Chain A
């Protein structure tokens, strides 16, 4: 694979990325703030956006049990997001609570990874996306639960228990579908091939990750990667699925450069809160 097909920042043409003469923090430029706030927003937004995606299945699940399961997963993730965004708002100190952060930020201010905003597709796509995320999430929570930031460690200790159930569920479905019929196998292999390019972003480190180490938050992507690989390889082997090559990895979500899907999701998620500010029910 040539360098041109290596890591590509979404939405930035080759010449635009290094436009040093123009102000970088323009209307669409990254507006990275306090690293601890950024770190909490990344963790919270991943779960808020994935939780919202899963909630789109409510009433549309392939079977009743899965409809309920997907809604349960969505509830856990949105609950985790509420805790994380509340913490982010407290650290930020500008009076924004979890609702203000969820409903009154625009797409470029969201810090979720690109994987979680990808559309649900069929049930196989949803389960592959969930599995790739869950396998990473349990490792992140495990590290943060043992970390030196008490508020975040408390959220992590709780979320770890929840995400273990999620991972068991999603991994079993990946095996069931991959090692199922010719049709289900072909569909989940295609889902894996399509979504794989969003997995590299999970392991990227930047200045935010370096800076939060001062707060006792040590997310060592290099240590998490081999363990994620082991989980993924084990499950894919059982599912008779072929692991795609690490090529053409996409990233940008952590600095607010998203795929086109996020805007549509936010439009649905935010419209009630924005149409009726302060409404309570």
Chain B
């Protein structure tokens, strides 16, 4: 039978399908893993964005990994509060993102409303480190990314946007 630690470790091997360089645990969306007396595992996850199309796949991947490890029963629960924030992504995972070519997220905005037309601090290029970069769009190839381009090395890059 899986122990609590086993279950957590196995869930930690499931990569984010869209950013496979980090796991769903490193992404911060796994909020709780509990093993029942009969060995069944309940995993509580929270979505990154309301419309993230990867959530279903993540649920399937977690279920498959735990089932392969011998869990007789896997139950996935979804919670919305507290809302996911990129502040839950730790330093190691941020470094993995950067090495993968995705600029890691800055500090998430505090609650409360926004300042419109704000000047943005340029995001350092994950390839060459230059700060001479330009935001192309706050909406990128997935809900969680923005598109930038580096004026120094001329490379486009994704930013995992602060959220």
**Contact status B116-A168, CB under 8 Å:** yes
Interface mask (B83-127 → A, CB under 8 Å = 1, otherwise 0): 111000000000000000000000001000110110000000000
Given A157-B83, A175-B117, also A169-B50 (CB < 8 A): no
Given A171-B117, A172-B117, A231-B116, also A65-B49 (CB < 8 A): no
Given A153-B81, A165-B138, also A76-B114 (CB < 8 A): no
**Contact status A69-B117, CB under 8 Å:** no
Report which residue of B136, B143, B147 has the largest number of chain A beta carbons within 10 angstroms of its beta carbon: B143
Nearest Cβ on chain A to B144's Cβ, whole angstroms: 10
Nearest to A165 among chain B residues (CB) is B138
Interface mask (B129-160 → A, CB under 8 Å = 1, otherwise 0): 00000001111110100010000000000000
Q: Which residues of B contact A68 (CB under 8 A)?
A: 137, 139-141, 147
The bracket for how many chain B residues form the interface is 20 to 34
Q: Which residues of A contact B50 (CB under 8 A)?
A: 76, 79-80, 82-83, 155, 158-159, 162
Answer whether residue A58 sits at the interface, using C-beta atoms and an 8 A cutoff: no
**Contact status B80-A167, CB under 8 Å:** no
Q: Per DSSP, are chain A's interface residues mostly helix, strand or loop, or mixed?
A: helix
**Contact status B143-A75, CB under 8 Å:** yes
Given A79-B50, A80-B51, A171-B117, also A154-B143 (CB < 8 A): no
Q: Which residues of A contact B109 (CB under 8 A)?
A: 164
Answer whether residue B36 sits at the interface, using C-beta atoms and an 8 A cutoff: no
